[in-house]
Structure 1
Amino acid sequence: MSFITTSLFELFKIGPGPSSSHTIGPMKAGYCFMEEVRKLDTALLEQADIIEIHLFGSLSATGEGHGTRRAVISGLLGHQPETCHPDVLDGLDHDPEQVYPLDIGPKSIDFKGNEVVFDAVEHDYPYSNTMVFRLQKGEKILFEQEYYSIGGGFLRWKGWEEPQIGEPKYKYKNMAELKKHLVMHEIRLHDLILENEMAITGLSENEIYERLDNIIMVMERAVEQGIQTEGILPGPIGLHRKAPTLYAKAKRGHFQGPGFLKAINAYAMGASEENAAGHCIVTAPTAGAAGVIPALLFMLKRHMGALTDEIRQGLMAAAAIGFLAKNNASISGAEVGCQGEVGVASAMGAAMMAYARGYRFQVTENSAEIALEHHLGLTCDPVGGYVQIPCIERNAMGAVKAYNAYLIASSVEAAYHMVDLDKVIKAMAETGRDMSRKYKETSLGGLAVSVIEC
């Protein structure tokens, strides 16, 4: 296990939903493949007449419902998650026979959506979410590349090597080592994360804050769009959006009492419904869990008067929790179930709440631990492969649990807390290893089967 070198902007990534591993990763893969193709010898490219893509594992099992094919097409067409229009996927893949001209340099190749093949769910590739891109002349393969979508929008490929980056100023692998730095160097958590980010990426403090502010803006926009947009979400389920109704009822209650909880639910579901529609969100840590932190952030800013610096610092505290979970377990539903997505998001959100409200490190860690502990064993079983049932309401539950975890941790004596975050992350990793594969984003078990049978 190596020390943590993940950047804030690898964890918090802007891109289209509904699933970071199924849309953001594949979009990146499509873009990268075209970039590599255009570097090939012109004589080879002149022979090419087909581009074919095979999806394996969870990408095959639930890619239809997750919009993986249209994400791949958008990448092939030159779109990138960070810079694409918020609704870039809306106009793609309505007709499998639609032709998309792909510029490969000396000429163009006609590509159809049905040339994305949903292949074997069980396979021998090193990662569950594997994609094989091929440039062909008829059946003859001219160029091939394997890509792996490893969760949270992170992309790897065959032959991938760790990029050369700066070394973090404060090296740690787990929470115990992180705490030692905080005590030894008498440094606040957000300052440590900021120092490491500057060392790893070479960005200045102002550049980091500008990027964080953009992340905050996109999160707020997802909530705002979600609580204002009515209608039915894409796909055969026919699921009605609920966020506008919840928000209206919270507003009528002046956000007091039950109205406060209704507002948290509305904000989380609003961002999640935008994600389910394939619109731009922020992975936090994944697209499937993209409603939790924005809901709490919106609550902090709009109802609790949190200042910009407090929100920034809270996000950096949240990132610290996400880094630990990713480094020591997983944030991929295909690897550990939804405990690694909504569970980690809830832990991150609880830490953000505590830190943004001025609590120091121990209460922040305890908040995260409580939230994650009570998501252990959570399966990933989306009905029909769509990030809708139970995913949207699950984001709302994760946000409420995060808020409650913060309340518990900030109200009791911190010294009496029995379980530390390292232990619960280890338990999450072990639970994920033991979890049946049918509960890991395959739609082969749990609600995915029960709802269809009803």
Structure 2
Amino acid sequence: MQSISVFEIIKVGIGPSSSHTMGPWNAAESFLNLIRRSHHISEVKEVFVEFFGSLAKTGIGHGTDIAGMLGLSGENFKMIDTTLIDSKIEDIKSSNQINLGGEKVIPFVYGHHLILNKQRSLDFHPNGMIFKAVFENGEEITQDYYSIGGGFIATQEENSYETHCVRTLYPCHNGDDLMRNIQKLGLKKISDLIFMNEESWRPKEETEQEALYIWQQIKECIYKGVTREGILPGGLNVTRRAAGLNQKLLGEKKYSNINEWFTHVVEAEETFTNINKWVSCFALAVNEENASFGRIITAPTNGASGVIPAVLMYSQAFTAHRTEEDIIRFLLVAGEIGTLFKKNSTISAAMGGCQAEVGVSSAMAAAGLTEIMGGSPGQVLMAAEIAMEHHLGMTCDPIAGLVQIPCIERNSMGAIKAITAANIAIESDPTKAKVSLDQVIQSMWDTAQSMSDRFKETSEGGLAIAVNVAEC
């Protein structure tokens, strides 16, 4: 089993979905590279993409079609000006042309060259897609891709994350591995072990810099979310709430930049009710940005991108654990817990429902918070287990296929559960725990296998059906 860097689990992304937006976008970029390896973009006459299964059924709401077109245009979701996305898509649709890879303009008719096939699923994974290029000389290239969660893609031959994987000095593929290596090395903190393993990818100083960069991106995303009002796109007419909640909590306090705002948050009245509201505000802010094709931190997915930011911001605003070292260690431990779920279960809602997204993110956040609160390695794993235990069986049933209802509020709940799980673990003896993290991860996978496909990001069951709204 390959090791995965924590920064493959916690990374810069774009909304609204890691599986349905980032995955197809990455697949389109991969297909362009496939063309370049065997031919040249200038030789392409036409290009086709067909989405299947969950990608097709919730594709419009998740922006799957948009991701496919922008990916084929050579745009990078880490760099694109997100305010220009709508105009770029309108240009493609109105002109019936696409600038393939940014190198050659070719015909592209939406509904002909791009198809959402809701009647068929590919066998390998529910999030399947097939790309085809037809060249001027009549030759063709076809490649299937599968979006397997967190922006990762796979073909039937290989997974994208394996191209980033190396063998670490102390491989940790489950909770038992973590504890065994910690005891073997005489370490007191899980993050010390992760620092050692991350050096297989980069020097320690670069790991610290990357973690602090992610923290800066988290702050900027939250700040954008608490300063933007209006209606979220997609047709459900969901009103942004983070800005209003932020204004109520800060009262008459004025701010013109992120640093002034954060100072006021830190100085805010610290009642239990207010802190609880702030945690919700942080999570809502991120997921409202995510629902608007904003740039967010995927952790481990976009649908769950508000949990870790909310809990980390909580630690920085309302606890004594607010140093840069605390931030770094929080993210390292959170990311490492995410790799355990990735390797032993799933972080794809199309495979496991929302337990694979908000549930995993809550477990990650609980572990990170417990680490910086001074928890022992056993208590850190216990916190992750507690958080996931109370998300088991959670369905993914977004109304109209949009990452809005119940997704946005669900992140607030996941963040609160993470904080509660950390507090319980800190006051507990992990040697007396009846359920281990490895056991709850296995239970999550078993639950995913038993769950009806209607509750796995298809908008064909649960809340998506109870609230009768056509896909937008």
Coarse TM-score class (shorter-chain normalised): over 0.9
Residue matched to 2:3: 5
For structure 2, the residue ranges without an aligned partner over 5 or more in a row are 252-267
Tell me which of 432, 439, 448 is aligned to 1:423: 439
Residue matched to 2:177: 177
Residue matched to 2:257: none
- Does the C-alpha gap of structure 1 residues 193 and 100 become closer, same or farther in structure 2, counting only changes over 3 Å? farther
Q: How many Å apart are 1:360 and its aligned residue?
A: 1.9
Q: How many Å apart are 1:418 and its aligned residue?
A: 2.1
Cα deviations by residue, 1:413-437 (Å, 9 ceiling, x for unpaired): 4443322111111110000000000
- Does the C-alpha gap of structure 1 residues 223 and 80 become closer, same or farther in structure 2, counting only changes over 3 Å? same
Quote the Cα distance in structure 2 between the aligned partners of 1:5 and 1:247. Answer: 40
Tell me which of 25, 31, 34 is aligned to 2:32: 34
Residue matched to 2:207: 208
The question of whether the paired residues in 1 share the 8 Å contact of 2:72 and 2:101 is answered with no
Amino acid of the structure 2 residue aligned with 1:108: V
The question of whether the paired residues in 1 share the 8 Å contact of 2:124 and 2:156 is answered with no
Q: How many Å apart are 1:297 and its aligned residue?
A: 1.1
Tell me which of 416, 425, 450 is aligned to 1:434: 450
1:404 paired to 2:400: no
- Does the C-alpha gap of structure 1 residues 357 and 121 become closer, same or farther in structure 2, counting only changes over 3 Å? farther
Quote the Cα distance in structure 1 between the aligned partners of 2:164 and 2:106. Answer: 35
Quote the Cα distance in structure 1 between the aligned partners of 2:27 and 2:34. Answer: 10
Amino acid of the structure 2 residue aligned with 1:301: Q
Query: Which shifted more, 175-184 or 259-268?
Result: 175-184
Residue matched to 1:277: 292
Q: How many Å apart are 1:172 and its aligned residue?
A: 2.8
Tell me which of 49, 54, 58 is aligned to 1:62: 58
For structure 1, the residue ranges without an aligned partner over 5 or more in a row are none
The question of whether the paired residues in 2 share the 8 Å contact of 1:53 and 1:131 is answered with yes
Amino acid of the structure 2 residue aligned with 1:37: I
- Does the C-alpha gap of structure 1 residues 348 and 149 become closer, same or farther in structure 2, counting only changes over 3 Å? same
Residue matched to 1:83: 79
Amino acid of the structure 2 residue aligned with 1:183: Q
The question of whether the paired residues in 1 share the 8 Å contact of 2:61 and 2:401 is answered with yes
Quote the Cα distance in structure 1 between the aligned partners of 2:27 and 2:42. Answer: 19
1:375 paired to 2:391: yes
1:236 paired to 2:232: no
Quote the Cα distance in structure 2 between the aligned partners of 1:417 and 1:242. Answer: 39
Residue matched to 2:271: 256
The question of whether the paired residues in 2 share the 8 Å contact of 1:15 and 1:84 is answered with no
Q: How many Å apart are 1:302 and its aligned residue?
A: 2.5
Residue matched to 1:190: 191
The question of whether the paired residues in 1 share the 8 Å contact of 2:275 and 2:318 is answered with no
Query: Which shifted more, 203-212 or 267-276?
Result: 203-212
SS at match of 1:380: coil
Residue matched to 1:145: 143
Query: Which shifted more, 373-382 or 293-302?
Result: 293-302
RMSD of Structure 2 on Structure 1 (CA)? 2.3
Amino acid of the structure 2 residue aligned with 1:191: D
1:300 paired to 2:315: yes
The question of whether the paired residues in 1 share the 8 Å contact of 2:73 and 2:102 is answered with no
Q: How many Å apart are 1:394 and its aligned residue?
A: 0.3
Quote the Cα distance in structure 1 between the aligned partners of 2:282 and 2:427. Answer: 25
- Does the C-alpha gap of structure 1 residues 239 and 184 become closer, same or farther in structure 2, counting only changes over 3 Å? same
SS at match of 2:108: strand
Alignment size in residue pairs? 448
Q: Which runs of 4+ in 1 moved over 6 A?
A: none
1:166 paired to 2:162: no
- Does the C-alpha gap of structure 1 residues 402 and 165 become closer, same or farther in structure 2, counting only changes over 3 Å? closer
- Does the C-alpha gap of structure 1 residues 106 and 429 become closer, same or farther in structure 2, counting only changes over 3 Å? closer
Tell me which of 90, 99, 103 is aligned to 1:102: 99
SS at match of 2:236: coil
Q: How many Å apart are 1:218 and its aligned residue?
A: 1.3
Residue matched to 2:380: 364
Amino acid of the structure 2 residue aligned with 1:395: N
Cα deviations by residue, 1:368-416 (Å, 9 ceiling, x for unpaired): 1111000000000000000000000000100011111112112334443
Q: How many Å apart are 1:254 and its aligned residue?
A: 2.4
SS at match of 1:405: helix
Query: Which shifted more, 329-338 or 87-96?
Result: 87-96
Query: Which shifted more, 169-178 or 78-87?
Result: 78-87
The question of whether the paired residues in 2 share the 8 Å contact of 1:101 and 1:111 is answered with yes
The question of whether the paired residues in 1 share the 8 Å contact of 2:346 and 2:356 is answered with yes
- Does the C-alpha gap of structure 1 residues 247 and 159 become closer, same or farther in structure 2, counting only changes over 3 Å? same
Amino acid of the structure 2 residue aligned with 1:111: F
1:330 paired to 2:328: no
The question of whether the paired residues in 2 share the 8 Å contact of 1:367 and 1:408 is answered with yes
Query: Which shifted more, 19-28 or 408-417?
Result: 408-417
Cα deviations by residue, 1:283-317 (Å, 9 ceiling, x for unpaired): 11101100000011111123325111111101111
Residue matched to 2:134: 136
Query: Which shifted more, 101-110 or 49-58?
Result: 101-110
The question of whether the paired residues in 2 share the 8 Å contact of 1:89 and 1:279 is answered with no
The question of whether the paired residues in 2 share the 8 Å contact of 1:232 and 1:239 is answered with yes
- Does the C-alpha gap of structure 1 residues 434 and 267 become closer, same or farther in structure 2, counting only changes over 3 Å? same
- Does the C-alpha gap of structure 1 residues 257 and 429 become closer, same or farther in structure 2, counting only changes over 3 Å? same
Cα deviations by residue, 1:69-118 (Å, 9 ceiling, x for unpaired): 11112211222233333545343434743444324698431334433200
Cα deviations by residue, 1:259-298 (Å, 9 ceiling, x for unpaired): 1100000000100110011111111110110000001111
TM-score by length of 1: 0.93
Amino acid of the structure 2 residue aligned with 1:192: L
How many percent of aligned residue pairs carry the same amino acid?
Answer: 37
Amino acid of the structure 2 residue aligned with 1:198: E
Tell me which of 18, 21, 24 is aligned to 2:22: 24
Query: Which shifted more, 170-179 or 437-446?
Result: 170-179
Quote the Cα distance in structure 2 between the aligned partners of 1:31 and 1:376. Answer: 34
- Does the C-alpha gap of structure 1 residues 174 and 165 become closer, same or farther in structure 2, counting only changes over 3 Å? closer
Quote the Cα distance in structure 1 between the aligned partners of 2:102 and 2:59. Answer: 29
- Does the C-alpha gap of structure 1 residues 173 and 384 become closer, same or farther in structure 2, counting only changes over 3 Å? same
